[in-house]
Structure formats: C-alpha cells, structure tokens
Amino acid sequence: MDAVNPNVADAFVTGLQYAFVMLGGLLLIGITFAVLRGERAKPSPATQQNPVTAGKSEYESE
C-alpha cells in the first residue's frame, strides 16, 4: 500500500462506500415496490386459456 497515494486510496474507498449505499437503496426501493404491489391481478377471462377438465372434451362426439 505504500505505492498508492493516500488521497487516491481514500477516494477509492469513498466511491466504494457510495456504490454500496446506492445499491442498498435500490434494493430497498425494489423490496418496497414488491411488498406494496402484492400479488398480481388475475388475467381477464378473454385472455385465459381453456382449463383442462376431467370430462369429455368439446372435440369428442357423443
């Protein structure tokens, strides 16, 4: 570490701390949005696919 200027080392550490604080803040914002949003709304029936049933299908003849 003797080859590194102390001012440069301090600037590096300060930048690293700033980066971690920013990443932590973004993580907290993301968690907050996820908690506030909750579960997603169910899709409308027009976009839902036909459910699979155990009875005869509409393609089978009677």
pLDDT per residue as tens digits for the range 1-54: 578 888 999 999 999 999 999 999 999 999 999 888 887 667 666 665 666 666
pLDDT at position 61 over 80: no
Q: What is the pTM of this model?
A: 0.53
- Cβ-proximal residues to 1 (8 Å cutoff; 6+ apart), any chain: 9
CA dist 12 and 6 (Å) reads 10
What pLDDT sits at residue 24? Answer: 98
CA distance 33 to 27: 10
